[in-house]
Amino acid sequence: MKIWCSFGRFILAISILFTPKVLLAVEAFTGTYGINYGRIADNIPSPDKVITLLRAAKIKNVRIFDFDHSVLQAFSGTGLELVVGLPNGYVKDMSSNPDHALTWVKENVQAYLPETHIRGIAVGNEVLGGTDQSLFESLLGAVKNIYNATKELQLDKVVQISTAHSEAVFNNSYPPSSCTFKESIAQYMKPLLEFFSQTGQLREYMIRKHDLHYDNMLDAEIDAAYTALEDAGYKKMEVIVTETGWASDGDQNEAAATVSNARTYNYNLRKRLAKRKGTPRRPKSVLKVYVFAMFNEDSKPGPASERNFGLFKADGNISYDIGFAGLKSSSATSFFLSLKDIQAQEVIRKQTLEMAQKEVGNVRVDPLGDDDAEELAARYRTETRMVGVGEPVGQSQASALIVAPRPISQVEPDQWHTKADKSTITAADLEAIREKYQIPAEVELLLPTSRERPSDAKPGEFSLYEEALKGGLRLPLPQVVVDVLNRLEVAPRQLMPNAWKILLACASAWPKANGGEAMAVDEFFSCYKASGQQETWVTLQAVMGRGLVAGLPTSIKGWQPRWFYVSANE
């Protein structure tokens, strides 16, 4: 959905995710944040250097608008999640020629798997509601043939199919509760949605239809799309924002296209996504966004603003600072960061880890290079079960075991193995705890309801045992500690003793090596890797065998009855 608010670009994709009920189904989007990597320019960095920037910024999800082989090859072995585009110029051919669709998937997707993590194919871009109405009737056929090709090649459980639409498909988008598809579009849209609903096992969403309040335009526009889907009879579908951004420069009549406005919008967008929340209409559906765009593209037609949406300039410098931890200049006087500065960040991390090692004695802390915190957290939140000896179901984590992954979200509270999952803490207990442990007034202690469980902590909160306070833990916690607990969805007691040493030592050492700047959660996670042990649970292990966490929130060893929530608001 494209909406121009001054020079803010909003484009939502009605992206129907194919997630059949199989153990190895993969989603095309990890976490909440992605980026559009457009290349309509003659002066931007080569794909291999782009990989360096993406890793430094810790951006895992990337969307391209074509299927350029040099890009697909560059992404090989990086672990980055890629969505490729089938340009509009191919839609008619793919619609009328199933054999061409099969060949296209073979040559441009299958040939690069599994080394290149191609997780999605976007068929066309803003076809419905666009200027070329001759493509309207061809879109569904193209989607079907591309999907059937992935199914024939047994890629349909790995590669998802979607298509993006602009706001031109809607009658109106405000107020969000009244949004519907245009009648002229509905005749093409509904068969498309019906096909998506039949080919994917989509989850149901709780819908609230009244008393919805909005404090930003992005949430309102996303909920407008959800309303239109519900009105059309497809309330199970998920919306992914495929483009949203703000131009940092423009023509004389584009006064709002400034560096200050662009930084404000994109910085606040990152903060919004970091909360991992949904919209007022879909509060439990975490918002997923591809920011527009990676680079300023000097060859794009149109007004000057079109060439200035990039988070990066063509030479690899950041256009403005929006808080990417890996892209902060090591110089206090330098605002911009170049590709060369990324190497300096590696030096800072090495110095930090050396300092941390000294502070924790003989506990060795080593960097792991390109490990990604999002992947670690996702692997941690994967429950495993023993199914006996034989051929592996999924990826075998140990030679004598077969481990079948199952998302933790499928474990309902009433199925948990522990009887001590409900809190026995009372309001009077919280008052006594605050007084006994001298907890500052600005730290909010929250009483769980009878239906809430420790792993139900909302963004900005974490679960805490009274036992942890008895053991010496004091509030407030450093922000990086709170962020680690939030990312893993665990309570402090579930971190291993050595993990506390390393975490607190790194939190102390990082500012000393980084000009006083506090350590970020992704920087801490770069010291760890996921490792499957000969146990029931997946763990996170340090290089030298120093554990980070053991067990899952559903483990009987993990939870005790006297727990409560702590608000981690800064």
Phi, psi of 240, rounded to the nearest 5 degrees: -115, 135
Distance CA(448)–CA(422), nearest Å, equals: 8
Neighbouring C-beta atoms of residue 391, cutoff 10 Å: 6
What's the per-residue H, E or C state across 348-398? HHHHHHHHHHHHCCCCCCCCCCCCCHHHHHHHHCEEEEECCCCCCCCCCCE
Q: pLDDT digit string (tens) for 346-362? A: 555 566 656 655 655 54
Q: What is the mean pLDDT of the chain?
A: 73
Interacting residues of 493 by C-beta distance below 8 A, sequence separation 6+: 465, 467, 468, 560
pLDDT (mean) for 217-228: 87
Q: pLDDT digit string (tens) for 11-49? A: 444 433 322 222 233 456 766 789 999 999 999 999 999
The answer, as to whether pTM is greater than 0.85, is no
Helix spans in 244-385 (H)? 259-274, 339-359, 373-380
Distance CA(177)–CA(209), nearest Å, equals: 7
Q: pLDDT digit string (tens) for 494-505? A: 676 666 666 777
Q: Is residue 288 within 8 Å of 241, Cβ to Cβ?
A: yes
Lowest-pLDDT range, 90-104, 132-146, 246-260, 531-545? 531-545
Task: Find how far residue 543's CA is from the centre of its chain.
Answer: 25
Q: Is residue 149 within 8 Å of 100, Cβ to Cβ?
A: no
Distance CA(125)–CA(545), nearest Å, equals: 47
Q: Please tell me whether residue 339 adopts helix, strand or coil conformation.
A: helix
Lowest-pLDDT range, 347-361, 377-391, 460-474, 522-536? 377-391
Amino acid found at 48: D
Distance CA(278)–CA(493), nearest Å, equals: 28
Distance CA(176)–CA(239), nearest Å, equals: 14
Instruction: Match 């009737």 to its residue by tokens.
Output: 137
Q: Is residue 231 within 8 Å of 289, Cβ to Cβ?
A: no
Beta bridge partners of 398: 401
Q: What are the chain's domains?
A: 3-339 (3.20.20.80), 373-567 (no CATH)
Q: pLDDT digit string (tens) for 269-278? A: 888 887 778 8
Distance CA(362)–CA(508), nearest Å, equals: 17
Report for 175-184, 387-396, 460-469, 477-486: range of highest mean pLDDT: 175-184
Amino acid found at 276: R
Residues recorded for the chain: 570
Q: Which is nearest to 53 in space by CA: 342, 386, 263?
A: 342
Interacting residues of 301 by C-beta distance below 8 A, sequence separation 6+: none
Q: pLDDT digit string (tens) for 313-338? A: 888 888 888 876 545 433 333 333 44
Distance CA(255)–CA(7), nearest Å, equals: 9
- By annotation, the residues acting in catalysis are 126, 243
